[in-house]
Chain A
Amino acid sequence: MGLENIIAEALPEVLTTRLDSLINWARKSSLWPATFGLACCAIEMMNATSSRNDLARFGSEVFRASPRQADVMIVSGRVSRKMAPVLRRIYDQMPEPKWVISMGACATSGGVFDNYAIVQGVDKIVPVDVYIPGCPPRPEMLIHAVMMLQDKVMKESSRDRRDVPEAEARTAIGPGTLPVTDGSTVRQQSTESRPYSIASRHERRRSS
């Protein structure tokens, strides 16, 4: 007798739940990252998928070579100014829903590279959901970030996420706000229901 039989016996035939809970549960259980490494943090990112750390335990091991198939962009390393438009383009090519993890000190704030060539934090290019400190962060920290992101996904509403054409996404108010389909409501939408204003567990702990 398999697991499904045990569950079937223990539960009633019909369950009621919120649609968001079901969708979010499905989304958080298979967060596929884009194959996208920028610097030494990418080595730790690769290690996180190795047998020792095994990111697959949390459903996030399938690194997709195409941004069209990816859900999460892990910005692993310093972003040079020349790379910034490329990074933004990859982000624009990812379909909704999509999330961004800023991995390491350089992606988060520029790190030691306080100079003209490096973007001082990838949140100036794309909206970031989870920041990881460290230089580089250990694979456990990346796994923790993925789990934090899963918590955050569970709190979202599917109405906050819509697919928009890439050209329209570029003309949106900017990183930090999600572009919407109707241009006239951009400002209103961005002030009223910002998906990125959902406080993560980490943020709530800091504010209390």
Chain B
Amino acid sequence: MSTGANNENIVPEPVTTSAQEPTPSQVVTALQREHNEWIGEVVTAHGEVTVTVPREHIADLCHALKSGAGAQFNFLADLCGVDRGVEEEPRFEVNYHLFSTTRHHRLRLKVLVNENDAHVPTVTGVWRTANWHERETFDLLGIIFDGHPDLRRILLPDDWQGHALRKDFPLRGYEPYSLK
């Protein structure tokens, strides 16, 4: 065929069941053997692996997961915060959804944060896309990302009071808006 698209350069999807390529849980197990303090609880459910990480090690762990030979999580699919409730302790969690475009596997990291000390190290040094995601999490939940290069509000107006996605924030805001 001389017409149509040239499909020769399309790489076939990698086979994830290959013996020499570790699955996400194997990656986590290998990291746990190497740095036991990095890995907290590991939950595997519905074919998804979720790892609870102590917050002081999140940046190191992400760096290892991105550049490590076995993991290659080169894509931060999402970074979001969760308010688990006013009376919950710890109240907040930050979720990191990792994806590997070469291995086609996923991993979820979870950092638990207390309300009175809502600080998490930034991962903008690992994935640059974390910049806006962390700004959004700061904007809506008030979680402060230490070391972030530009931690400003991103969705709400600059003069906003409070953090709108906290469970104790009133749905209609504190006062009706008017320029009068």
A interface residues (Cβ-Cβ under 8 A, vs B): 81-82, 84-85, 88, 114-117, 119-120, 124-125, 174-176
Contacts and interface: CB of A to CB of B under 8 A. Distances in A.
Given A85-B179, A175-B180, 18 more contacts: A81-B156, A81-B157, A81-B177, A84-B177, A84-B179, A88-B179, A114-B171, A115-B171, A116-B171, A116-B172, A116-B173, A119-B177, A120-B177, A124-B176, A124-B177, A125-B179, A175-B179, A176-B180
Nearest to B170: A116
Nearest to B178: A124
A174 B171 contact: no
B27 interface: no
Contacts of B173: 115-116
B127 interface: no
A178 B89 CA distance: 54
A180 to B, nearest CB: 17
Q: Is the interface of A mostly helix, strand, loop or mixed?
A: loop
Interface string B142-170: 00000000000001110000001000011
A114 B164 CA distance: 14
Given A81-B157, A82-B156, A82-B157, A116 B164 contact: yes
Nearest to B175: A116
A116 B163 CA distance: 11
Given A81-B157, A82-B157, A115-B171, A120 B179 contact: no
A187 to B, nearest CB: 15
A124 B157 contact: no
Contacts of B155: 82
Given A81-B157, A82-B156, A82-B157, A114 B172 contact: yes
A116 B173 CA distance: 4
A176 B179 CA distance: 11
8 contacts: A81-B156, A115-B172, A116-B164, A117-B164, A120-B177, A124-B178, A124-B180, A175-B180
